[in-house]
């Protein structure tokens, strides 16, 4: 009877681990081609499991003197990793001008995985220790 319990337990354990592995995969990002995006923070979301930075990036001038803004979304490392690298929930604020070094999304949409953020007014660099 115990000979069939062990294989079933192994299969169940592997199946339970799949959602966790899928969540932590970085295959949607292209770390071999980092990009730099400059703009203004619309929102900094300090949340579990990952922080998010939403940036408004100027794309083009309109004929009326207005600037068209693209919305970019950057996913960060787990909060525990960010804290170990000196980040706080108050590290970024809406309205901060930033340069974001990121691994872009492979599908070409506006976003990626942020690797470091430079506050352009002060020159302060916030890294994640993954570069």
Structural domain boundaries in the chain: 26-127
pLDDT score recorded for residue 59: 85
**Who wins on pLDDT, 13 or 61?**
61
Cβ atoms of residues 130 and 116 within 8 Å: no
Q: Answer whether 0.85 is exceeded by the pTM.
A: no
CATH number belonging to domain 26-127: 2.40.50.140
Six-digit token string for 3? 């000979």
ω before 49 within 30° of 0 (cis)? yes
For 30-87, what is each residue's pLDDT tens digit?
A: 999 999 999 999 999 999 888 999 999 998 766 676 788 999 999 998 999 999 999 9
């Amino acid at each position: 009877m115990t000979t069939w319990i062990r294989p079933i337990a192994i299969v169940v354990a592997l199946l339970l681990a799949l959602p966790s592995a899928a969540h932590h995969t970085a295959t949607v990002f292209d770390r071999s081609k980092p990009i730099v995006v400059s703009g203004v923070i619309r929102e900094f979301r300090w949340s579990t499991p990952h922080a998010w930075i939403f940036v408004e990036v100027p794309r083009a001038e309109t004929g009326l003197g207005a600037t068209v803004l693209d919305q970019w979304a950057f996913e960060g490392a787990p909060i525990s990793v960010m804290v170990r690298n000196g980040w706080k929930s108050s590290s970024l604020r809406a309205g901060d001008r930033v340069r974001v070094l990121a691994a872009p999304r492979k599908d070409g949409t506006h976003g990626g995985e942020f690797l470091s953020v430079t506050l352009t007014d002060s020159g302060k660099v916030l890294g994640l220790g993954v570069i």
